[in-house]
Structure 1
Amino acid sequence: MRPMHLQVFLLASAQALFQIVSVLVMTIGGLAGSILAPSPEFATAPIAAMFLGTAISTVPASMWMSRAGRKVGFVTGASLGMLGGLLAAAGMMTSSLILLCAGTFLAGTYQGFAQFYRFAAAEVSDEKFKPRAISLVLAGGVVAALVGPLLARWGGDLMQPTYTASFLFLSAASAIAIGVLLGVNVPKTVDTEDDRANERPLSAIVRQPTYLVALFAAVTGYGVMILAMTATPLAMTHHHHDLSSTVTVIQLHVLAMFLPSFVTGSLIARFGVLTIMQAGIALLVAHVLLALTGTGFYNFTAALIMLGVGWNFLYIGGTNLLTRSYSSAEKGKAQATNDLTVFLVGLCASLSAGVLQNTIGWQALNLWLLPWLALAAAAILWLQLSTKRTAARA
């Protein structure tokens, strides 16, 4: 195995372990919160705390890795995840919502560091392999799709109080990730004098059409996905589905999020990144339409599968497009700004999910996603037309 391929394999393995943590919190966070919360509106507080941790840690994580290197930063993140699992379990044992949220907050800081795995994969790859490397790292989530919901189910009643063992599994996955990450070797980029001389301020980078569209696409894909996914366990419980059915739907959804990653890079190379991003928007619209058809098990299943594949196309496409908008010297601030914005929107979406589900319901919640998706489709179309006009003038 070539060194480049080995590093991508290790990063994909680390991604699988990190996503197990994320999927586990997304699967049971709202259910655990509903046990401890003083009212149903606060049920998704543990999930919101995870996204708050991610949003707060993204910029410091980028700065820390710029100084200490990718490996040290990634191990730091996984260590915080391990501690977070222990705190969340302690929260369940002591019936403390605050302690539970503190634990998921630390799991969120782990997520803040782990978001840079895909960028690290691009950094260890040559230009030809880069889109596939990003896709393969995100494909590590396929393992999480299979394992995360199962750990949530197995850990549910393994110890009392309910879900205590699930959060201990979270801590164990983080500990294993530390061992994997110790083998990662991402060479520290040495910027040339020309790179530093030509480095642009952040305001100039984010004003580029390519950067703006990549960012808005990522925000749309993540925000829509988090809002719908966070609301799903609560909606299914409201419509009298049991935990086993909910876990199955989340499992299939997460599988749909990451299984296409094995081919998304190749599809981007063949059809173009903007075309694949538009396909992602179309699939997210299909999710909304399926959600409006009913609240049975198969309605939830079909809708969440479309949600997962749509997120995959839009998120991987957006990441690929983003890497074209900055130089090596600019990558730290460009990447951190992108991920900070994405997870602030994720935080708002996760906070809103419980409130919207308990006030307007599952179908109305999904209906309100359509204007957002229409704006994203228009932004991508605008960039497509601008690119064609520029090419025609050249």
Structure 2
Amino acid sequence: METASPSRKRRRARHDEEELDDTPGTRRMYKNIALLSGMWGLGLGAAFVQISSSAFCLIDNGYGSVSSAPLGLIMLLSSPCAVVVPRLANGMGERKVFVLASALGVAGSLVQMAGTMVFREHGSAAQLAMILAGASVQGFTYASSNNLRFAVARFFPPEFLPTATALVLFGGVVSSLFGPLLSNVTRYMIPGADYAGNFLQIALLYFLFGVLAKLTDFEEPVGKRSKGEGDEVDRALGMLLDDSDYRRMEEEEDDNDEYIEVGARPLSEILIKTDLPLLTLFQCLSYNIMALYMSQVPLPLDALGYTPNQGTLVITAHMLGMFVPGLVSGRIIGRVGIWTGTCAGFLVSILGGGVMLVNYSLALFFVGMTLVGVGWNLSFVGPSALVSTIYTPKERADVLGFNDGLMLLTIGIFALTGSQIYKAINSWRVFIYTLVGISALSAFAAVAVGFGTARRGRLKINAAGDRTREGDAADAADSIDHSEASLEGSLEHITQAVNK
């Protein structure tokens, strides 16, 4: 029977002691996860109210051909904002960035509300302009909200990232109930100004988003940290390895607090040596498939004679499908593996599309769109969580800017042109067949990537066994996660810097 090496025993003992003594720290982590989850729910909930409200508002006013334009503008303009947000967070602090995002969201939705109240004529071009202008301002807010799923990495160790990310996404359940569902009540709340109440509701959701941001324990910007706080190696190696031997990289014989600092790699090197391009690609596929279903479903619902309130209920069911699985999806992905979970998500999306092909009953719209939401959760959580494991703190802005910037750019392009694409196809069935085909290709690609990463992990372990003694080989094997080969590039970069 193989025995653990002394160094491994010491690490396990220290880890057990830390777990016993860190009850306040654990409470703090879960408190912040709850606040981040609430922020995610409010931010995304407001965005989804925007989708249904602005779409039906434009359809009712004779602008069905551009009904997805507000969503498209939000997504398209959030792409450059996604590059700016992490850099602003480094300079002024995450809390101030999210409060700024809240203020812009409130301002944009109030502009839209004013447009529906002042210009009430059917087909008013001025009303259309104000709705689009208000949506444009909310691009920064959406980019900031989307960045929340990476903030979770500051509060949880890497082995819990899928679960923690899923818990943050679970916050969307509340937004599903107080978002689109509540919009059925607020839609005609202001007499003579349909949909003005919806835009007021969006403003209130964004205001609450800012309140929760003020309560969350975000890190101070780099310039305001005390000595030793946020140490690069401490955080980077702790995030990648969760190994207490690396928590303090001090010279034992030196009384001065000297820390080894790991520099930032160029983005080109990160793209070559890690799985960042693949992770971004799968997030783009997952989000765009879901967003195309959600942004275009109001058109067939309207054509089939369903009311805006019924359409909003379909969107609500879809959102519940997106976020309710957050209670268990992290654990499922942890058991079956990132890429198996991603493949399963795309397969569930195929099932959702297939259900809506059976007939055009409202019940099947409910079931189909709910399944599409579940598929998004499973296919999106894993790749999104992995992104948080491949960068050091100095590389965070570049990596997140690339990942979210590219993802939101593609979403914006398809959302902005989605209505025209749907009108050109002029068939809900053909539209679904197209998305089902893309989902099938994505599922196949996830399987291929899963096999590839598992093979790389095995080769790495075998190579480590050939180079080291049996005990050291066991330690090396423990440091490699079979399913997370994307860590290799980041890990090698840091260990090389430490050994210099």
TM-score, with length taken from structure 1: 0.94
Structure 1 equivalent of residue 412 of structure 2: 347
The residue identity in structure 2 corresponding to 1:31 is F
Aligned equivalents of 1:194, 1:293: Cα separation in 2: 61
Aligned to 1:79: 103
CA contact 1:44–1:353 (8 Å) conserved in 2: yes
| Alignment match of 1:10 (pick from 12, 32, 35) | 35
For the residue of structure 2 that corresponds to 1:129, the secondary structure is helix
Out of 100, 103, 117, which is 2:134 matched to? 103
Return the offset for 1:56.
2.9
- Kept in 1: contact 2:54–2:131 (CA 8 A): no
Alignment of 1:62-211 (within 5 A): 62-95=86-119, 96-159=127-190, 160-188=192-220, 189-192=230-233, 196-197=262-263, 199-208=264-273, 210-211=275-276
The CA deviation at 1:33 is 2.0
1:1-394 aligned within 5 A: 2-36=27-61, 39-95=63-119, 96-159=127-190, 160-188=192-220, 189-192=230-233, 196-197=262-263, 199-208=264-273, 210-360=275-425, 361-393=427-459, 394=462
> How far apart are 1:106 and its partner, in Å?
2.0
CA distance in 2, matches of 1:252, 1:53: 27
Cα distance in 1 for partners of 2:29, 2:96 equals: 19
1:318 to 1:195, Cα distance in 2 relative to 1, 3 A:
farther
Higher mean C-alpha displacement, 286-295 vs 59-68: 286-295
The letter of the residue matching 1:314 is: S
The whole-number CA distance in structure 1 between the counterparts of 2:418 and 2:428 is 9
Deviation track 1:305-337 (CA, whole Å, cap 9, x = no partner) reads 111000001111111222233223212111121
Shift of 1:356: 2.7
Structure 1 residue matching 2:98: 3-state secondary structure: helix
2:89 and 2:436 mapped to 1: Cα distance?
38
Moved more, 91-100 or 252-261: 91-100
How many Å separate the matches in 2 of 1:194 and 1:236?
60
Consecutive unaligned residues of structure 1, counting only runs of 5 or more, are none
Q: CA RMSD in A?
A: 1.8
Distance change (3 Å), C-alpha of 1:250 and 1:15 = same
Question: Aligned-pair distance for 1:293?
Answer: 1.7
Unaligned runs of 5+ in 2: 1-23, 120-126, 221-229, 234-258, 463-500
- Inter-partner Cα distance in structure 1 for 2:172 and 2:184: 18
Question: Residue 442 of structure 2: SS of its match in structure 1?
Answer: helix
Contact 1:253–1:301 (CA under 8 A) maintained in structure 2: yes
Name which of structure 1's ranges 378-387 and 340-349 shifts more when overlaid on structure 2.
378-387
SS at match of 1:241: coil
- Tell me, yes or no, if the aligned pair for 1:195 and 1:329 is still in contact at 8 Å: no
- Contact 1:83–1:171 (8 Å) recurs in 2: yes
Q: Secondary structure at the match of 1:259?
A: helix
Contact 1:227 1:352 in 2 (8 A): no
Letter in 2 for 1:278: C
Instruction: Give the deviation of 1:167 after TM superposition.
Output: 0.2
Deviation of the 1:358 alpha carbon: 2.3
- TM-superposition CA deviations, 1:111-160 (whole Å, max 9, x none): 11111111111212233433222111111000111111123211211113
CA displacement 1:32-53 (0-9 Å, x = unmatched):
122446x431122122122123
Number of residue pairs matched? 392
Identity %: 24
